[in-house]
């Protein structure tokens, strides 16, 4: 028989049945697919347990009866004595006990259904729940929303901690991860959760998200979990509840977990766990919302912090190059076939054995550095192109990165006020407009002239009617 049939024939719910299984009172067979197969003997045992629990026989005495440590007669004599002090329905429970004592000699021949029917009839007539079975199961929190919110907050905290390590220790830019990198990072967060959460459960019996919502995890004895117990539980959550965060599959697992909780059943990873909730006071919701706001604000702060260049104040050429490369990573720009070396010189990284086809002409400019005691006072470059009858790409990227590398080092730049966030550099939008402006202590001077070309979408296209194509750019960024 499947558990659904057992539920119908015994009138018990499956959480109660599984509790008795964990207690070793029944031992259904496990099939290859993981489903339980109950025998007629299991059914009779459950009915007997239900009968004895209906007359308030303690579970430990029932276990002693099943294990032969106590006889049915002794158990019932003891229960009669216990019930003598009860009121109203106790007399009827005593009557049932006497009938059972007089009519039954052994638990193996106990006709449980006959007495259960009498108890049901009595319950209907007196409208009492005295004879209803007190459920023997570990407490559980059946709110899928509350549990999910706690887990989401915990994952957000784990992710923030890992991002902080990447930013502060490895100087990585975390805000521009691509889809594959995000997937890998999710895997690292899951691994961190698998190692960290058991430690939190062992030390505190809860996690940050659970604590805010009043959720507590204990073992059946009411003690905090050991690390091994916490590890098994957390792995079960990751496997069965989160689907290892595999896209689509994780949604399916969340849905199935929610359905189990809605049916008041115990989730697979909590079968040996007592999961309780202190209360549902309104202030907990306020604390939770506040924590979410703090986590979001912390992540925004971390993103702004990682955008700060590695070098501040007066810059040497090498420090300028480090800042320049930093902003290349932040903006995800930079041509794969050129790299700026520590001396501020462009070196080609093209593979000589690969044939390249350029759809537009582009020249990497030669940086000129004006120095005073090895400190940069200005960075400039010139580009001159004559009679190139093909589209020309601008040097907008080099100009704006040069500005960021210098301006980001100035005292005006802070975590909350950065050149990368300002929108006043519209003159660099296409890279073919001359202007002179000062921003954040950096004076920009751009002179551009061209003939025989027409600018479209940030590219200069040669005009067919013209016989000459000339282009010149003079750029300078001076530090005040």
Last residue of a domain, one of 284, 307, 330: 307
CB-CB neighbours of 423 under 10 Å: 5
CB under 8 A, 24+ apart: contacts of 347-350: none
**22 domain-assigned:** yes
Q: What angle do CA 467, 468, 473 make, to 5 degrees?
A: 155
| 204 & 295 share domain | yes
| 289 & 385 share domain | no
pLDDT for position 87: 63
**82 domain-assigned:** yes
pLDDT for position 354: 63
* CA 131 to each of CA 10, 42, 61, 128, 273: distance values in angstroms, whole numbers, following the listed order: 15, 22, 18, 7, 28
| 216 & 101 share domain | no
Q: Give tens-digit pLDDT for 388-440.
A: 888 999 999 999 999 999 999 999 899 989 988 875 566 677 789 899 999 88
| 333 & 468 share domain | yes
Distance between CA atoms of 209 and 294, rounded to whole angstroms? 13
Check: CB of residue 159 under 8 Å from CB of residue 167.
no
Strands (E), 363-441: 368-372, 375-386, 392-393, 435-439
Q: What angle do CA 24, 30, 32 make, to 5 degrees?
A: 160
Three-state DSSP class for residue 334: coil
Supply the range of the domain harboring residue 21. 3-126
For the chain, how many structural domains are there in total? 3
Confidence of residue 360 (pLDDT cuts 50, 70, 90): confident
For the chain, the distance separating the N- and C-terminal CA atoms, rounded to the nearest angstrom, is 86
**37 domain-assigned:** yes
Highest mean pLDDT among 22-31, 52-61, 157-166: 157-166
**Mean per-residue pLDDT of the chain:** 89
Check: CB of residue 360 under 8 Å from CB of residue 393.
yes
Distance between CA atoms of 123 and 472, rounded to whole angstroms? 100
pLDDT for position 17: 86
Q: Is the pLDDT of residue 346 over 70?
A: yes
**312 domain-assigned:** no
Higher pLDDT, 249 or 431: 249
**136 domain-assigned:** no
Higher pLDDT, 134 or 34: 34
| 331 & 473 share domain | yes
| 169 & 104 share domain | no
Confidence of residue 259 (pLDDT cuts 50, 70, 90): very high
Higher pLDDT, 309 or 118: 309
**53 domain-assigned:** yes
| 224 & 276 share domain | yes
Three-state DSSP class for residue 173: coil
| 227 & 250 share domain | yes
Angle of helix 14-22 versus helix 40-54 axis, rounded to 10: 100
Q: Give tens-digit pLDDT for 449-473.
A: 999 999 988 899 998 766 788 999 9
**134 domain-assigned:** no
| 264 & 374 share domain | no
* Residue 335 exposed, middle or buried by CB count within 10 Å (0-12, 13-18, 19+): middle
pLDDT for position 399: 94
Beta bridge partners of 347: 339
Cα atoms in the Cβ-side hemisphere of radius 13 Å centred on 84: 6
| 100 & 182 share domain | no
CB-CB neighbours of 120 under 10 Å: 14
Domain CATH number, residue 16: 1.10.1660
| 296 & 346 share domain | no
Last residue of a domain, one of 276, 307, 338: 307
**450 domain-assigned:** yes
| 150 & 298 share domain | yes
Last residue of a domain, one of 289, 307, 325: 307
């Amino acid at each position: 028989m499947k558990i659904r049939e057992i539920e119908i024939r015994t009138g018990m719910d499956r959480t109660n049945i599984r509790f008795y299984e964990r207690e070793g009172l029944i031992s259904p067979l496990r099939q290859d697919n993981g489903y339980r197969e109950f025998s007629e003997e299991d059914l009779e045992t459950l009915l007997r347990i239900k009968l004895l629990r209906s007359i308030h026989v303690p579970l430990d005495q029932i276990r002693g009866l099943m294990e032969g440590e106590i006889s049915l007669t002794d158990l019932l004599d003891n229960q009669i004595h216990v019930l003598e002090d009860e009121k109203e329905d106790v007399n009827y429970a005593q009557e049932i006990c006497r009938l059972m004592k007089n009519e039954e000699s052994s638990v193996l021949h106990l006709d449980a259904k006959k007495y259960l029917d009498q108890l049901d009839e009595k319950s209907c007539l007196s409208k009492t729940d005295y004879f209803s079975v007190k459920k023997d199961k570990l407490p559980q929190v059946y709110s899928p929303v509350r549990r999910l919110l706690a887990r989401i907050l915990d994952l957000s905290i784990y992710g923030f901690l890992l991002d902080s390590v990447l930013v502060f220790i490895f100087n990585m830019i975390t805000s521009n991860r691509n889809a594959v990198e995000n997937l890998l990072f999710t895997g690292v967060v899951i691994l961190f959760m698998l190692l960290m959460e058991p430690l939190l459960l062992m030390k505190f019996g809860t996690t940050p998200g659970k604590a805010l919502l009043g959720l507590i995890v204990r073992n059946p004895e009411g003690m905090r979990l050991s690390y091994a117990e916490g590890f098994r539980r957390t792995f079960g959550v990751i496997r069965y509840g989160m689907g290892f965060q595999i896209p689509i599959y994780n949604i399916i697992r969340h849905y199935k977990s929610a359905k189990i909780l809605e049916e008041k059943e115990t989730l697979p990873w909590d079968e040996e766990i007592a999961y309780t909730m202190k209360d549902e006071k309104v202030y907990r919701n306020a604390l939770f919302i506040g924590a979410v706001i703090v986590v979001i604000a912390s992540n925004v702060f971390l993103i702004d912090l990682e955008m700060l260049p590695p070098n501040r104040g007066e810059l040497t050429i090498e420090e300028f190059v480090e800042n320049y490369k930093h902003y290349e990573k932040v903006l995800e720009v930079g041509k794969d076939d050129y790299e700026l070396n520590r001396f501020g010189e462009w070196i080609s990284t093209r593979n000589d054995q690969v044939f390249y086809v350029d759809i537009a002409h582009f020249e990497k400019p030669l940086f000129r550095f004006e120095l005073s005691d090895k400190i940069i006072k200005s960075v400039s470059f010139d580009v001159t192109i004559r009679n190139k009858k093909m589209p020309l790409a601008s040097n907008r990227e080099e100009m704006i990165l040069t500005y960021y590398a210098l301006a980001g080092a100035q005292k005006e730049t802070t975590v909350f006020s950065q050149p990368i966030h300002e929108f006043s550099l519209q003159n660099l939008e296409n890279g073919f407009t001359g202007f002179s402006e000062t921003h954040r202590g950096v004076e920009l001077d751009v002179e551009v002239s061209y003939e025989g070309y027409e600018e479209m979408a940030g590219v200069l296209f040669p005009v067919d009617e013209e016989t000459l194509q000339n282009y010149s750019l003079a750029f300078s960024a001076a530090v005040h």
